């Protein structure tokens, strides 16, 4: 069963990075990516909880708090709806141990993206900033470090 848990972790990391690609290409994060992240977290948290440092109730609380944060940020126009759901799904994976680090890194990368958007003169800014570029890589890196180390 350890291979199934390890596979779920690999799927979670892969889906987080696929979200970056789809957000860059279409400025959209499909629901199947979010669903896949949640489903793969359920498998990993059930079969390999020590590999992802899962405390299920605490992770669910982080996910719900991140979803609420995503709703608020979406209401202010700071994030797209898919970005908020992606934030929540990855908060499930990270739990209370790493969600703070991931949010700090996301803020830094997001700030750089905003400066990049302001500096461009083409239509990139009107299409919106692809926030998955800021959200997913820090989370994927933390998950990889946690799974390997």
> Is residue 3's pLDDT more than 80?
no
pLDDT, tens digit (0-9, with 9 covering 90-100), for 104-143:
999 999 889 888 888 876 766 667 788 999 999 999 998 8
The verdict on pTM exceeding 0.85 is yes
Average pLDDT, stretch 18-24? 95
Per-residue pLDDT, 1? 54
Confidence bin at 12 (pLDDT 50/70/90): very high
Cβ-contact 37, 12 below 8 angstroms? yes
pLDDT for the residue 40: 92
pLDDT at 37: 96
Q: Is the pLDDT of residue 149 over 80?
A: no
Query: How far apart, in whole angstroms, are the C-alpha atoms of residue 111 and residue 52?
Result: 28
> Which spans in the chain are helix H?
2-26, 31-47, 56-75, 81-119, 132-148
Which residue would you say has higher pLDDT here, 127 or 65?
65
Summarised one tens digit per residue, pLDDT across range 76-108 is 988 888 999 999 999 999 999 889 999 999 999
Measure the CA–CA gap between 110 and 114, rounded to whole angstroms.
6
User: pLDDT: is 52 or 8 the higher one?
Assistant: 8
pLDDT value at position 46?
85
CA distance linking residue 77 with residue 95, whole number of Å = 26
pLDDT at position 141: 92
């Amino acid at each position: 069963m350890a291979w199934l848990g390890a596979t779920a972790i690999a799927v979670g990391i892969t889906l987080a990075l696929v979200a970056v690609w789809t957000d860059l290409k279409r400025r959209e994060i499909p629901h199947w990516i979010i669903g896949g992240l949640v489903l793969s977290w359920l498998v990993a948290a059930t079969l390999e909880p020590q590999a992802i440092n899962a405390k299920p109730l605490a992770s669910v609380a982080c996910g719900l708090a991140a979803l609420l944060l995503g709703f608020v940020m979406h209401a202010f126009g700071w994030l797209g709806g898919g970005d908020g759901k992606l934030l929540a799904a990855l908060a499930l994976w990270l739990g209370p141990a790493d969600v703070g680090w991931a949010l700090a890194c996301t803020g830094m990368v997001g700030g750089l993206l905003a400066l990049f958007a302001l500096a461009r003169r083409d239509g990139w800014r009107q299409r919106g900033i692809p926030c998955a570029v800021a959200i997913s890589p820090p989370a994927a890196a933390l998950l990889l470090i946690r799974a390997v180390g």
